[in-house]
């Protein structure tokens, strides 16, 4: 009990600070991934001159390990592009790059799943392709693919543990740091695992309730 009090209770604020960073980097990465994934999806489907570069970007995001992407973005991009300028930015950028590939394919599957008759009905009413996409197609994609889209957020949260390797002060980084100071890995890493389980459990239930309400409302 003394060890637990010394290593956990007295340093719990550091773990909570790391958890806050974990959630922050995950949310930013997911928002960017959704935007980038939707853009890549549209480019692949409707911009023929840029179709192959978009496919290459999608496949790179899907088939490259997140560890490799973190190293690449953090150590190569600053020399090539002068950006990112911080490890925090490099962390969410790498997470966004990976998730954007999966989300682009999710969006494409949802768009292709909309029946052609709905496009034709919209055109017959005088709606432009862009308006049809915004008001008819994307709304259906949001409903049908919402479980897959939101599940990707959970993947981002779990993958965010790796940003600690580039010194982003997330929950895993703080746990490893405390372990190296106190040499009590059982207590510290067990509490860290519990925090991750609790966060993922809460987020999973929130996502399930949201997607269920979304489907109930629009289907």
Tens of pLDDT along 11-45? 889 999 999 999 999 999 999 999 999 999 999 99
Where exactly are the structural domains of the chain?
2-218
Fold of 2-218: MetI-like fold (1.10.3720)
Q: What is the pLDDT of residue 218?
A: 64
Q: Answer yes or no: is pLDDT of 5 > 70.
A: no
- Angle 185-218/171-182 helices, nearest 10 degrees? 170
pTM for this model (two decimals): 0.90
Over the stretch 76-86, which tens digit does the pLDDT of each residue have? Answer: 999 999 999 99
């Amino acid at each position: 009990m003394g060890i637990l009090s010394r290593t956990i209770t007295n340093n719990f604020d550091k773990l909570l600070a790391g958890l806050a960073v974990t959630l922050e980097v995950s949310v930013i990465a997911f928002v960017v991934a959704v935007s980038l994934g939707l853009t890549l999806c549209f480019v692949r489907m409707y911009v023929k001159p840029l179709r192959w570069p978009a496919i290459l970007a999608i496949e790179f995001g899907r088939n490259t390990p997140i560890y490799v992407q973190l190293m690449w973005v953090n150590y190569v991009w600053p020399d090539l592009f002068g950006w990112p300028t911080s490890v925090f930015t490099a962390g969410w950028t790498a997470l966004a790059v990976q998730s954007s590939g999966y989300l682009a394919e999710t969006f494409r599957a949802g768009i292709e799943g909309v029946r052609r008759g709905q496009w034709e009905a919209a055109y017959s009413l005088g709606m432009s392709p862009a308006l049809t996409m915004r008001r008819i197609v994307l709304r259906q994609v949001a409903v049908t693919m919402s479980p897959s889209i939101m599940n990707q957020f959970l993947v981002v949260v779990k993958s965010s543990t790796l940003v600690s390797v580039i010194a982003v002060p997330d929950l895993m980084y703080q746990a490893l740091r405390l372990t190296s100071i106190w040499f009590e890995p059982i207590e510290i890493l067990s509490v860290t695992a519990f925090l991750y389980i609790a966060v993922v459990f809460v987020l999973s239930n929130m996502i399930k309730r949201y997607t269920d309400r979304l489907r109930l409302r629009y289907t």
